[in-house]
């Protein structure tokens, strides 16, 4: 997996250093989810723009990574099709959890 990552990633990226603002952040490990929460809470809030942080646990092996990529693609497609994400997200995540028998962590943070 490391060799594949070296081919597709031009350089390591650190979320903590990013100045970009996102509507949705997705993590694949609960430890990373917790780190993103910690990072966001330590930042000075600028404009109170919400960001939905979602975690889907994916084991670090080729098979799980392949399945996980399809799950994340499906989830992002469902979320992108929502006309009112902030109001719909709880229901959409619950439906996703039921459909794929995966536990999802979700919280709303602010920039």
Spatial distance between the Cα atoms of 83 and 68, rounded to a whole number of angstroms: 25
For residue 8, name the pLDDT band (cuts at 50, 70, 90). confident
Predicted local confidence at residue 101, as pLDDT? 96
Taking only the tens place, the pLDDT of each residue in 52-77 is 999 999 998 989 999 999 999 999 99
User: What's the pLDDT at 60?
Assistant: 87
E strands, 1-111, where? 24-27, 50-56, 104-110
Q: What is the mean pLDDT of the chain?
A: 93
């Amino acid at each position: 997996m490391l060799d594949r990552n070296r081919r597709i990633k031009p350089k390591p990226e650190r979320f903590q250093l990013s100045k970009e603002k996102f509507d949705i952040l997705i993590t694949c490990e609960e430890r990373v989810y917790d780190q993103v929460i910690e990072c966001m809470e330590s930042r000075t809030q600028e404009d109170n723009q919400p960001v939905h942080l979602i975690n889907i646990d994916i084991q670090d092996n080729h098979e799980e990574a392949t399945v996980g990529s399809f799950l994340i693609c499906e989830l992002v497609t469902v979320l992108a099709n929502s006309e009112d994400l902030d109001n719909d997200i709880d229901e959409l995540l619950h439906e996703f959890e039921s459909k794929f028998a995966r536990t999802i962590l979700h919280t709303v943070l602010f920039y």
